[in-house]
Amino acid sequence: MRLFPRTTRRAHPSFAVTILAALALFAAGLSPAQSAASESRTAKPTVVLVHGAWADASSWSSVISKLQDDGYRVAALANPLRSLSGDAASIRAYLDTITGPIVLVGHSYGGPVISNAAVGHPGVKALVYVNAFLPDAGESATQLAGPDSALSVDPTTIFDFVPATLPPTPATELYLKRSTVFASFATGLSTEDKALVAATQRPATVGALNEPSATPAWRTIPSWALLGTKDLIIPIGAQRTMANRAGATTATYDAGHVGLMTHPTTVTRFIEGAARAAVR
């Protein structure tokens, strides 16, 4: 048995492909360099999706499918939910692996994370906020929710603390009570889907939700914000104030806090609109 076949005079397949590609470029009147430049101009950006607290990357599932159907490369990242600075560093490390333009999208607490992760990153061409916090330097997610938020009540009535010892520490994990998921967080979903959200939620730490933001990337990177008019977690007034302050291009839709799950087509179109505007 031969480990290596005898050499023949047949052209290697990759050589034949190269010749055919060169002939195609010649017929089109393009040099290889011109072709590469043309592809660079027409290539769609990578869309990076960052979920918020009490969720995971699967919350973007329907949006992912629609973006992929439209020809976008998509990465829905696991947001650690441990600390704002640490979570942002984790997302930034992934961004550094991507070649080409990036549209960075954050939902809810994912907003502060992308605001910090994208600072000074040359590849990030657009920041997209979906029912999200847009903090300025020194502001935390908890602070920005505002007095009308369903979370701005006695925390023992809406959260389960792990460990249960009170008072909590920055490392204490917060789970939404089932009643909070059903009444405020997952509005717009079916009873079955609300139960699934409650059962599969990933906790955020007290420290993450209360850690002040550094100088945000929206100061230098164009931003877009999709505002849910029925959001009980980040009320529309708070969303609009933050988006206007950031100079974001805004739109509203008739959705609660998990609009990415209840209105995936609207969310996808908004993301794609930002991508087209930012990457020409």
pLDDT tens digits, residue range 89-98?
999 999 999 9
User: By C-alpha distance, which of 7, 10, 95, 11 is closest to 50?
Assistant: 95
pLDDT at 43: 83
Which residue ranges in the chain fall short of pLDDT 70?
Answer: 1-42
pLDDT at 12: 40
Note whether residue 160 is domain-resident.
Answer: no
Note whether residue 8 is domain-resident.
Answer: no
Q: Kindly report the CATH number assigned to the domain that includes residue 48.
A: 3.40.50.1820
Note whether residue 12 is domain-resident.
Answer: no
> Any idea of the CA torsion for 47, 192, 230, 200, to the nearest 10 degrees?
-50
Q: 159-162 and 173-176 as β-strands: parallel, antiparallel, unpaired?
A: antiparallel
Note whether residue 94 is domain-resident.
Answer: yes
pLDDT at 160: 98
pLDDT at 280: 85
Note whether residue 50 is domain-resident.
Answer: yes
Note whether residue 5 is domain-resident.
Answer: no
Note whether residue 184 is domain-resident.
Answer: no
**HSE toward the beta carbon, residue 68, CA cutoff 13 A:** 10
Note whether residue 216 is domain-resident.
Answer: yes
Beta bridge partners of 124: 102
pLDDT at 9: 37
Task: Look up the domain containing 101 and give its range.
Answer: 43-143+208-278
> Any idea of the CA torsion for 179, 185, 189, 194, to the nearest 10 degrees?
-40
Beta bridge partners of 47: 74, 103
Per-residue exposure over 189-226, b if at least 16 CB sit within 10 Å of its own CB, e if not: beeeebeebbeebbbbbbbbbebebbebbbeebbbbbb
pLDDT at 32: 43
φ, ψ of residue 75 in degrees (nearest 5): -130, 120
CB-based contact 220:214 (threshold 8 Å): no
Question: What are the Cα distances from residue 17, in Å, to 11, 21, 119?
Answer: 10, 6, 42
Structure tokens at 36: 């590469």
The tally of domains found in the chain comes to 1
